[in-house]
């Protein structure tokens, strides 16, 4: 007897409308990565969905935990060669 498929295993269809210019842009990026349009779009959409949900997640902690967190935030990182290189590196949009 076949096992019942879980919700995570069942494929569903997602349909969206796009302008030809948008589709062409997506196709060009997907092609550069050697991926299908569907795989590219699904990965990008899931990544963005996770970012939205994580940005809107609210954490509550007791006062002692929050105080420890603030101490860690205020404590400077130890000076290392790796940190120095990172701080000297220009951001991609500045190059």
Q: Is residue 8 part of a domain?
A: no
Specify whether the CB–CB gap between 29 and 37 falls below 8 A: no
Q: What token pair was written down for 9?
A: 């295993």
Q: What is the pLDDT along the chain (95 residues), one digit of tens a residue?
A: 456 667 778 899 999 999 999 999 999 999 999 999 999 999 999 999 999 998 888 888 999 999 999 999 999 888 899 989 998 998 888 87
**Measured distance CA(7)–CA(34) in Å, rounded:** 28
Q: Is residue 86 part of a domain?
A: yes
Question: How many Cβ atoms sit within 10 Å of the Cβ of residue 21?
Answer: 8
Specify whether the CB–CB gap between 40 and 30 falls below 8 A: yes
What total number of domains does the chain contain?
1
Angle between helices 37-55 and 20-32 (to 10 degrees): 100
Q: Is residue 65 part of a domain?
A: yes
Q: Is residue 9 part of a domain?
A: no
Per the structure, the complete domain to which residue 68 belongs is given by 20-90
């Amino acid at each position: 007897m076949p096992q019942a498929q879980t919700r995570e295993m069942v494929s569903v269809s997602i349909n969206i409308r796009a302008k030809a210019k948008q589709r062409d842009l997506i196709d060009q990026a997907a092609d550069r990565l050697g991926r299908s349009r569907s795989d590219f779009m699904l990965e990008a959409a899931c990544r963005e969905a996770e970012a939205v949900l994580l940005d809107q997640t609210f954490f509550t902690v007791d006062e002692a935990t929050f105080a420890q967190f603030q101490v860690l935030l205020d404590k400077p990182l130890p000076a290392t060669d790796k940190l120095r290189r990172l701080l000297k590196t220009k951001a991609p949009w500045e190059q």
